[in-house]
Structure 1
Amino acid sequence: MQLLEVAAAEFAERGFQHTRISDIVARAGVTQPVFYQYFTSKQAAYDELVGMFAERLRGIIGQEREPGAPGSGLDERVRASVGGLLAILRENPDLTRIGFFQADSAEDLKDELARMIAARVRLEQQAGLFRAEVSAELFAHALMGIIERFVRQAPGQESSTLSGFISDLLLDGARRRAAPADMPA
């Protein structure tokens, strides 16, 4: 919906407090009654944007990806998850600015996503693919911190290159190392 896109741009540029409904409707080329056909208030429009953004992020992290046998696509699964997360964050910079940085609920959302990631890491640990001594919670918060920093600082970096870098960096620290007897001769 164009009205939501315009609202996202206004909120991202001006912040919630400094955005007026009149700014949104003027930019969208509609009247205030049209705005009120869709939203009961400025807060309702803002909450819908933040909610849609949060649901998309929860969806990509919550996708079922079953752990497999050692070496059976772990790198690809992790890259796909990180790449999907980055794609959502980069798809609409205005929405990311609002939902990931500006909203009062942004830190709670990042904490929730970290808990979801930690649960996935524990599944990989149970499957024997990640080292058991690696803290799933610290791993998840480290990933969220890396992603947050890169979204802020490297907006032009290609997502596949960035997701590969982040995945390799974290996997090489978390991957279960082969025992000396398991190493090829």
Structure 2
Amino acid sequence: MTTPTTRRGQAKAARRAELLAAAARQMARRGFVSVRLEDIAAEVGISGPAVYRHFDSKNEVLDELLLDISERLQSGGEQVVDRGGTPVQVLANLVEFHIDVLVTKPDLIAIQDRDLDALTDDARRRVRSLQRRYVETWVQVLIAVAEANGHPLSESESRVRAHATFGLLNSSPRLPDFEQARLRALLTEMALAALLSGLG
């Protein structure tokens, strides 16, 4: 998306971002089905009809939210790998990156976990493709870690380990309140233990 250059364009982009943030909060808390565009508009202080200057439908809002988080994860994962390091360092950096997204975008993680099936068909295909590419980034790093440790690992087992770890990490928005720095450390320790189990 290009950055608006006019003052009016910048104001419109800022309002759109504000509406998306409000939608994320409401959908995470109440679920996609229970949220109306009018509810989102009310949270940011505009009328129901005014929201249609920014979005044609509630589904368009959901599509944009979940495409954004999927693109953020997929491109961020590639950047982690491109920075290089030993296989285990890259794996640790992937875990750190994923946790950063979790703690800064918990609403989007919760929506992705619960409302993926409400996406339009085109958005669902694009999200699934981005998710597969993100998973494969982890799979190849895990295989490299296993090879470096003398424990060859199949792609299928690597994929299971990655998905199981995502299940562990992505549950964090539903956890009881916990001091953030300690939560990051605990999730990192648990994720790496799960990923590296038996590969010692």
SS of corresponding position for 1:174:
coil
Aligned residues: CA RMSD: 3.1
1:165 to 190, 196, 199: 190
Q: Check whether the contact 2:107–2:173 (CA below 8 A) recurs between aligned residues.
A: no
Corresponding residue number in structure 2 for 1:76: 89
Q: Check whether the contact 1:11–1:19 (CA below 8 A) recurs between aligned residues.
A: yes
Q: Check whether the contact 1:21–1:42 (CA below 8 A) recurs between aligned residues.
A: yes
Corresponding residue number in structure 2 for 1:91: 104
1:131 to 124, 138, 151: 151
How many angstroms apart in 1 are the aligned matches of 2:79 and 2:189? 19
How many angstroms apart in 2 are the aligned matches of 1:130 and 1:64? 24
TM-score of the two chains, using structure 2 as the length reference: 0.70
How many angstroms apart in 2 are the aligned matches of 1:47 and 1:84? 23
1:121 to 136, 139, 142: 142
Percent of aligned pairs sharing the same letter? 25
Superposed, 1:5-154 pairs within 5 Å as: 5-65=21-81, 73-104=86-117, 108=128, 112=132, 113-125=134-146, 128-129=148-149, 131-133=151-153, 135-153=157-175
Shift of 1:65: 2.1
Unaligned runs of 5+ in 2: 1-16
Unaligned runs of 5+ in 1: 176-185
Task: For residues 89-111 of structure 1, give each alpha carbon's deviation from its aligned partner in whole angstroms, at most 9, with x where no partner exists.
Answer: 22122222112333216995796
SS of corresponding position for 2:46:
coil
Higher helix share: 2
Q: Paired residues, what number?
A: 171
